[in-house]
Chain A
Amino acid sequence: MRLPSQAEQHLAPPGLRLENLSLTYAGVLIFEALNLTLEARQFSVLLGPSGVGKTSLLRIIAGLEAPASGQVTASDGAPLAGRIAYMAQQDLLLPWASARGNVMLGDKLRGKRPDRAKADDLLAQVGLRARARALPAQLSGGERQRVALARTLYEDRPVVLMDEPFSALDAITRARIQDLAARLLAGRTVFLITHDPLEACRLGHSLAVLAGSPAVLAPPITVPGHPPRPADDESLLHLQGELLRRLAGTIPA
């Protein structure tokens, strides 16, 4: 029997286990004993109102913040560091670099030779090949997020974390970039955070709701079918209503 090489192990998307995570912020308990399993190669969505600690949870998984207790492990047992790409709420494009330069940022920061062909190919996939030389200031909000998506794909990491990356976009633009993200990120282990029930229903293989203070995680819901689901699908609309009710129930009127 041949063991998988280190490179193969590095590329096969693992599942993630969040075990017993707790976080306090300025003496206030944000969440406690949080457990969640993210299936390999699936879109897992975490839904919750603002300020519930969603972003902190994502930052803990990304290794940007340390939890008060608990741990995050990969299902294959290998360390997570270097296997995660992170897409934040803001596009975080560098204003002095072109769209192409922004896509290749990772290699420049690692001191590697940037791969122009790969960057241009990714820009083509997000529909911005013709805008490769444009500065971020010359792009619309949707275009900027598409560049950020291309930058995330350039990293080619098996695990992708997304923190409400589409929340600032208008409804049409958001629906388009959701389709794009679902298509281009398929096969990776994706953890998406959102406060938009429709987005959660369209993109998630499974949904979990985080709400309350300290925040509690409701048992995840598995959504039938494959993302991106059409926004007018009847069962999706039903689920969306259900999620809205759950979210509303957790917030005092």
Chain B
Amino acid sequence: MISRFLITLAVFVGLWGALTALAPIPAYMLPTPQAVANALWTQRADLAANTLVTLTEILLGLGLGTLLGAGAALCIAAAPFLQRWLMPLLVISQAIPVFALAPLLVLWLGFGMASKVALAVLIIFFPVTANCLDGLRRTEPGWLDLAHTMNARHLRILFQLRLPAALPAFASGLRVATAIAPIGAVLGEWVGASSGLGYVMINANARIQTPLMFAALVILALLAIGLYMLVDRALRRILYWVPER
């Protein structure tokens, strides 16, 4: 997995280098890999500090969004009448583009981390809830029959049968959430922030420091990939009974 990733990366960087060397593209539009590597090295302290900010926002958003999403799904599963009230809200939260909400959230919650975490939560919430709910609804009917003949309690069925049975679906939701959580954080930093990788990008862009912008992008990409691989590995370990596909 790691070696395949490194090979892909090397091929990509090679093509990029060849493109900058052979095609007449101005450096302010597409810098050479060397220039980006140089920016990464010379600005490493600054980049590291901003990376930490963005990473914190992503992790907080992911944690909070997952908790809220799974909680909402559980509530709906435990009390189905809630669905009629909550589902429209959930769909509205997805229908309104997060891009449109970003300035408002920054206005309300300030330039700090809160607005970025809120955006990440907004983006994550729906896929987690929808997947989790789907899993909770698709319990093997035979298990529910069996539970019925065993005089099972309603909440026990939820926590002993339906919840574990929904975990693979919940894991799919969490994987999607992990992949899109950085969008929320970076979007918030674009709209208004004083630190973070998105802030670095928007500043570098305004000053035509294209290599620095690319450096921030590279870090963001690595961050997203690393986080996804970590979550994926953890989920596989937790869901030990799910056959590998």
Contact = CB atoms under 8 A, between A and B. Distances in A.
A109 B155 CA distance: 9
Per DSSP, chain A at the interface is: loop
B241 A110 contact: no
A6 to B, nearest CB: 16
B149 A94 contact: no
Contacts of A84: 149
Nearest to B146: A92
A96 B241 contact: yes
Interface in B119-149: 140, 142-143, 145-149
Nearest to A86: B149
B236 interface: no
- Classify the secondary structure of B's interface with A: helix
Contacts of A109: 147, 150-153, 156-157, 160-161
Interface string A165-184: 00000000000000000000
Given A92-B140, A96-B241, A137-B243, A110 B146 contact: no
- How many chain A residues sit at the interface, stated as a range, is 20 to 34
B164 interface: yes
Contacts of B161: 94, 109
A82 interface: yes
A155 B164 contact: no
17 contacts: A62-B145, A85-B149, A90-B142, A92-B140, A92-B142, A92-B146, A94-B164, A96-B164, A96-B240, A105-B160, A109-B147, A109-B150, A109-B151, A109-B161, A110-B152, A135-B241, A155-B150
Interface of B: 140, 142-143, 145-153, 156-157, 160-161, 164, 240-243
Given A63-B149, A94-B164, A110-B150, 17 more contacts: A59-B145, A84-B149, A86-B145, A86-B146, A86-B149, A88-B142, A92-B142, A92-B143, A92-B146, A95-B241, A96-B164, A96-B240, A109-B147, A109-B160, A110-B152, A137-B241, A137-B243
